[in-house]
């Protein structure tokens, strides 16, 4: 079992806040052990609570469609939430629940070490962009300590307010372009290193 799998396993018995009383299943998150991107949503909904998997209900289906539309494979990204258990009747998570759950997400990110973190909605936005409004900064990335943070609307927002769908689609395109540019830059860096190593080797032959 990988370290991230072991961590997710250890979340299953968590009773650190009241959400554990009403949950069917804990929803730790899912994806590869070594993802380039991590998406962070808000909290599991009804379907997620039933299945123990993130983003499998209506907003998850929309997220999958939007990822596919820009050529990002869902199985290549890691998806998780700010809180790992469903709040009753899908109410907003409380500050006490968010802080009780924080150490799980901190530990996940510490193990996953993604290059890009995409925040979906206002709770994950608040974790990285305290005091900012989503309407103002969505789709505009910032780089801090080598990690790119990319704020987006939550896909559920598009289900409630149809007008936001095109904003999310545009942001997805920007995200895909950003990933493409980051890969190209990485490849160029590796090529430069390889060329440098081979010219060093040639020099040492003389």
Q: Which residues bind ligand URA (CB under 6 A)?
A: 41-45, 48, 54-55, 57, 59-60, 81, 156
In terms of C-beta density within 10 A (0-12 exposed, 13-18 middle, 19 or more buried), how is residue 37 classed?
buried
Q: How far is the CB of 117 from ligand URA (least distance, A)?
A: 15
- Residue ranges of alpha helices (H) inside the chain are 3-11, 19-22, 46-51, 58-69, 95-112, 122-128, 134-137, 155-160, 165-205
Residue number of the CB atom closest to ligand URA: 41
**Closest distance to ligand URA from the beta carbon of 41 (Å):** 3
State the nearest-atom distance from the C-beta of 137 to ligand URA, in Å: 19
Other CB atoms closer than 10 Å to residue 106's CB: what's the count?
A: 10
CB of 154 to ligand URA, least distance (A): 6
Question: Cα-flanking dihedrals φ and ψ of residue 167, to 5°?
Answer: -65, -40
Q: Which is nearer to ligand URA, 109 or 182 (CB)?
A: 109
Residue with smaller CB distance to ligand URA, 48 or 72: 48
Q: How far is the CB of 55 from ligand URA (least distance, A)?
A: 4
3-state secondary structure of 29: coil
8 A C-beta contact, residue 94 and residue 11: no
CA distances (Å), origin 111, targets 31, 104, 189: 13, 11, 25
Pick the closer one to ligand URA by CB: 24 or 182. 24
Among residues 46 and 197, whose Cβ is nearest to ligand URA? 46
DSSP 163: G
- Of the pair 48, 97, the CB lying nearest ligand URA is at 48
């Amino acid at each position: 079992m990988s370290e991230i799998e072991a961590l997710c396993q250890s979340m299953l018995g968590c009773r650190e806040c009241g959400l554990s009383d009403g949950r069917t299943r804990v929803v730790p998150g899912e994806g590869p052990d070594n993802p380039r991107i991590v998406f962070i949503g808000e909290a599991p909904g009804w379907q997620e609570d039933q299945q123990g998997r993130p983003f499998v209900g209506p907003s998850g289906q929309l997220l999958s469609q939007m990822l596919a539309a820009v050529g990002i494979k869902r199985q290549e990204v890691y998806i998780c939430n700010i809180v790992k258990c469903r709040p009753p009747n899908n109410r907003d998570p409380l500050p006490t629940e968010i802080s009780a759950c924080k150490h799980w997400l901190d530990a996940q990110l510490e193990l996953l070490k993604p290059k890009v973190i995409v925040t979906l909605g206002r709770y994950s936005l608040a974790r990285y962009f305290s005091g900012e409004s989503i309407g103002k900064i969505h789709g505009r990335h910032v780089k801090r300590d080598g990690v790119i943070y990319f704020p987006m609307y939550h896909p559920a927002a598009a289900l409630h307010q149809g007008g936001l769908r095109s904003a999310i689609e545009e942001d997805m395109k920007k995200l895909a372009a950003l990933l493409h540019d980051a890969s190209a830059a990485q490849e160029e860096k590796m090529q430069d290193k390889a060329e440098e190593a081979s010219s060093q080797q040639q020099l040492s032959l003389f």
